[in-house]
Structure 1
Amino acid sequence: MFSSKAEITWLSGQDRVKTYSIPATRHEKSFCSECGSALPRVQDGFVVAPAGSLDSAVPIKPNAHICCASRAEWDERLEEVPKIDGLPG
């Protein structure tokens, strides 16, 4: 590992940020203890920002589809699945 240089500066609500880690793994999740929303966190020297926590457009695109060997059976040809602008029904 390398030393972390990334950091997050919270403007408000830092006291409500909780992080759950599974022991002996690298899995972590930060969330708001009040509403449960997924929140950004620093992990392994990088800021990990859940897409749902962003409030503006993201000017970059993914450059890899990772962990494909262990993906779900339905995670193939998703570009062929109908797109719905809102919730179905």
Structure 2
Amino acid sequence: MGSDPKRSLDPELRRRLLAEAKTPWRGLRRALWFALVASAGLGLATMALRASAGSEVASGDLLIQVGALSLFGALLWFDRNRDDG
């Protein structure tokens, strides 16, 4: 009385499981990328406020923040779900 496993699995569940097998931990990765983008953006905003108040902002620190924002923003962008029309 063996049943065909392909027929006994809900098609939606099967689709989700196959998508997870292709890109494991996508939700966790995207949450991490989003948190890092937010952190870099907050750091850049803090530096901008300090600069607008007349304080000196080191150009190296500014480049690090801009680089981090660009890098993590690109990682968030490249990790998007490309199947959504």
TM over 0.5: no
Q: Normalization by structure 1: what TM-score?
A: 0.18
Q: TM-score normalised to the size of structure 2?
A: 0.19
Which structure: greater helix fraction? 2
| Higher Cα radius of gyration | 2
